[in-house]
Amino acid sequence: WFVSYVDGLGKVTADDVRRVAAAYLQPDKATVGWYVPQRQEASAPPAKEAPKPKGKAKSKRAGAGGASDASGAAGFASRTVREMLPNGLVVQVQPNRTLPTVAIHGIVLSGAIHAPQGRPAIPALVAKMVTRGARGRDKREMAARLDDAGARLAIFSDLQETSIVGSGMARDLRLLLETLADDLLRPDFAPNELAKAKEELRAEVVKGDDDTRQRAADRLSRLVFPARHPYAAPTREEMTASLDAATAASLRAYHAERFVGSGTVLSIVGDVDPNDTIALVASLFGGMPRGVKAVVAPSRTEPGDAREVVETMPGKANANFYIGHASGLSRRDPDYEAALIANAALGQSGLTSRVGKRVRDVEGLSYNIFSRFFWTEEIDGAWAVIAAVAPQNAAKAIRSSREVIAQYVRDGITAEEVETQKNFFAGNFQVRLGTNAGVATQLTYAEKYGFGPKYLDEYPARFRAVTREEVNAAIRKHLHPDRMHLVVAGDLPEVPK
């Protein structure tokens, strides 16, 4: 079917669309469901307080699962129990008795930005190896134990950290945590598994280098950030050399340095008892060395002089371009919410934002275009408009995108756009808190950034409090059309004009 797919699309007429719509899109046959929060009646018994951890209290905070409502139901900050173990590991537990399930989310500060100088492949290799056998048990045996219980556990690395995602029945929490403890604390780094992991990562590197969007993103990072900056992506050659040089000994050394309690956060949400869960985590992870928390703190990056470059990739049917520069925005900045609203009106959605409406809807030049603040973490990252286009449409799409950006910076955001995006961010966040996994994820990152569980309660109000003046100030501070780089990747010999 794919051979004739494009030709078939070209034969579709307006009458065909109307006929199909009349046949299948019939409102009287639709099934509609909606969620209505139940307000707590005055006569209802008072909510029980979250149980306190046993033993001597350490650094404890609170927070929870499921969106809270303004009628007086307990918020996240009062429903999460937080404790820091003696080795620095932070565990957060929020009970949710609705279903007999549990979700785990966690991080270890061991991402690409923490790679030893000149060895960019090490963090990703270690993340692959910790799930490939521990304490003499191979990965198949460990995976089979989880499969038999219908449980899931994944560990993977990205730019910022190594992430932990687990889920299962609440009765299998011990199994999940025992497996995780073995993975994190006692990996084997078996030579045969290391050889396989290196080849897998090598294939991922080659695949990424052959992807137009990834190639453009990597090149932009090297234009925006100086050499040796944590966000400046390594080249394919640098990654390959690092893979060739990696040994089990070098992975063990990195693992000992980075997989430590002071750099680990675990959040557990579900049908569990906080006291028992914290005690279980302490028994399994208490032997993790405290270590030193990884800190990456380069000086802020200012937008430099604009450059235009092309990544020529012969034979590619599509092209990707990035228009962007250093953003000057980090996660803890006071104008973070205003900056996100500023970006949202300009390019959050390829269907409803300014750049999407112009380049995609009106001019039909791109099937995927949007803008984002990237790598906005403890250190400031970048901002860019990203688009996928046919090579022959690249020049016009780039011009149109630049025009939209320039007009937006010149005229600012409208009051209506501000209200629309404030409602979007506030509502979207609350929807993400509708599952145990969603709550666990947000608890983990609230801890990472130093906000605590109360941030889950405060998030919607923080966005709703943003004013139009604050958004326009963020636009002027973080977006500079005359200093934006252009990177184009595709079957193009030069930057299209």
Instruction: Output the tens digit of pLDDT for each of the chain's 497 residues.
Output: 777 888 898 899 999 999 999 999 888 888 877 666 665 544 444 444 444 444 433 333 333 334 433 333 579 999 999 999 999 999 999 999 999 999 999 999 999 999 999 999 999 999 999 999 898 888 889 899 999 999 999 999 999 999 999 999 999 999 999 999 999 999 999 999 999 999 999 999 999 999 999 999 999 999 999 999 999 999 999 999 999 999 999 999 999 999 999 999 999 999 999 999 999 999 999 999 999 999 998 999 999 999 999 999 999 999 999 999 999 999 999 999 999 999 999 999 988 999 999 999 999 999 899 999 999 998 999 999 999 999 999 999 999 999 999 999 999 999 999 999 999 999 999 999 999 999 999 999 999 999 999 999 999 999 999 999 999 999 999 999 999 999 999 999 999 99
Distance CA 270, CA 64 (A): 10
Q: What is the reported pLDDT for 73?
A: 55
User: How many H helices and E strands in the chain?
Assistant: 18, 11
The reported pLDDT for the residue numbered 58 is 39
Q: Residue 98: its pLDDT value, please?
A: 92
- Identify the pLDDT of residue 36: 65
Length of the chain: 497
Q: In this structure, are residues 421 and 344 in contact, taking their beta carbons and an 8 Å threshold?
A: yes
Helix (H, G, I), strand (E, B) or coil at 309: strand
- Residue 325 has φ and ψ, to the nearest 5°, of -160, 180
Separation between Cα atoms, residue 403 and residue 358, nearest integer Å:
10
C-alpha count within 13 angstroms, C-beta hemisphere, residue 469: 0
Q: How many CA atoms lie within 13 A of 336 on its CB side?
A: 17
Distance of CA 275 to the CA centre of its chain: 30
pLDDT for 39 equals: 56
Give the pLDDT of residue 37: 60
| 43, burial (CB in 10 Å: exposed 0-12, middle 13-18, buried 19+) | exposed
Per-residue pLDDT, 69? 37
Q: What is the pLDDT of residue 7?
A: 87
Specify the amino acid at residue 210. Answer: D
